[in-house]
Structure 1
């Protein structure tokens, strides 16, 4: 079952990302900071539950597209995590599908992410650079900057994707020289 995250889920969500990413707490810290940020639109946080246990989590948070006519409110899908013992069972796919449906229902035109084109390409995302969008950093590996165009998208909506300050403050964009991927996956 996929549902909206509740305050009582916060510790379980932290555990999901700690186990899924194993990065010393950077992803759970990102989730906490995105929850606390005062943004419009407000973050959308969904959990996957199996037998009353939170086994997966996805978050959509406010970002901007710097289009020539004006700024456009868009969302970033990040992070997406599933407990290791529940991976490869379609839980991440369901979380992504629900997240995109909710974003579309809220009139959001675009959802961006940094992640595997092999994984996300099968879930509604395409290479953003070939669609006329510029990434927020040069540290993305080829194909990792992706976008899902939703029903309120209009052709004039092209430009530079701009992450919220939270991603930059926690250094969660792109690759660093140590080879660790950014967490916007």
Structure 2
């Protein structure tokens, strides 16, 4: 399995990964990826591919941390998707590890995500509140709001995560009440 930068010819395969990986919400997630690509052409977008094609995808995009000293450029890991038949084989973990390594090489101090608290801690993520961070929406469950501190992180970098506009425009922040 090769972890590499996404190419334009991968776009439809990446859409299919997210459509299948996220079930009923897959179309929204695939649309989020397309919108983030348009808004931020230099976002870090990686695929896991082999002779069978694209098996997984991860995207890191720019956001801000509203820290007391100044705004700090950070990254948000969203989404991470792996084809259902390829899950539980290390594909997602390999994508996240590579994405964090590239972010660290680029001098990114922090990577945030909304995700499964049973999965991401083994990849270096901790609950955001435990490090002094505030989530950007009350709809994000506390345990799901997580952060990984990289080598350029400094202790004064605390505050509120501010998602890029694309997440808000597509209503992809936190959980919505499914209603009756």
* TM-score, shorter chain, exceeding 0.5: yes
**Structure with more of its chain in helix, by fraction:** 2
SS of 2:172 mapped into structure 1: coil
1:20 paired residue number = 21
Gaps of 5+ in 2: none
Shift of 1:38: 4.0
Tell me the matched-pair count.
Answer: 177
- 2:157 and 2:99 map into 1 onto residues whose CA distance is 21
Q: Does the alignment pair 1:148 with 2:152?
A: no
Using the TM superposition, give the Cα deviation of residue 78 of structure 1 relative to its aligned residue in structure 2, in angstroms: 0.2
Distance (whole Å) between structure 1 residues aligned to residue 81 and residue 8 of structure 2: 18
Q: Structure 1-normalised TM-score? A: 0.93
Q: C-alpha distance in 1, partners of 2:4/2:40?
A: 22
SS in 1 for 2:176: coil
TM-score, length of structure 2 as denominator length: 0.96
For 1:52 and 1:36, the matched residues in 2 are separated by 27
1:108, 1:88 → 2: CA distance? 28
Q: 2:152 aligns to what SS in structure 1?
A: coil
Aligned partner of 2:122 in structure 1 is 122
**Aligned-residue CA RMSD in angstroms?**
1.1
Query: After superposition, what is the alpha-carbon deviation per residue over 1:9-37, rounded to whole angstroms, capped at 9, x for unaligned?
Result: 00000000000012251001000000000
Distance 1:98 1:38, change over 3 A: closer
**Residue matched to 1:36:** 38
Whole-angstrom CA distance in 2 between matches of 1:24 and 1:84: 12
Q: Determine the structure 1 residue equivalent to 2:87.
A: 87
- In the superposition, relative to structure 1, how do residues 112 and 24 fare at CA in structure 2: closer, same or farther (>3 Å)? closer
SS of 1:143 mapped into structure 2: helix
1: CA distance between counterparts of 2:4 and 2:59? 12
Counterpart secondary structure, 1:65: strand
CA shift in 2, pair 1:24/1:105, >3 Å: closer
Which sections of structure 1, spanning at least 5 residues, go unmatched? 180-185
- Counterpart of 2:101 in structure 1 is 101
**Is structure 2 residue 29 aligned with structure 1 residue 6?**
no
Which residue of structure 1 aligns with residue 71 of structure 2?
71
Counterpart for residue 167 of structure 2: 167
Q: Where does structure 1 differ by over 6 angstroms across 4 or more consecutive aligned residues?
A: none
Shift of 1:141: 1.6
Using the alignment, how far apart are the partners of 1:24 and 1:105 within structure 2? 31
Per the TM alignment, residue 77 of structure 1 is displaced from its structure 2 partner at its CA by 0.2
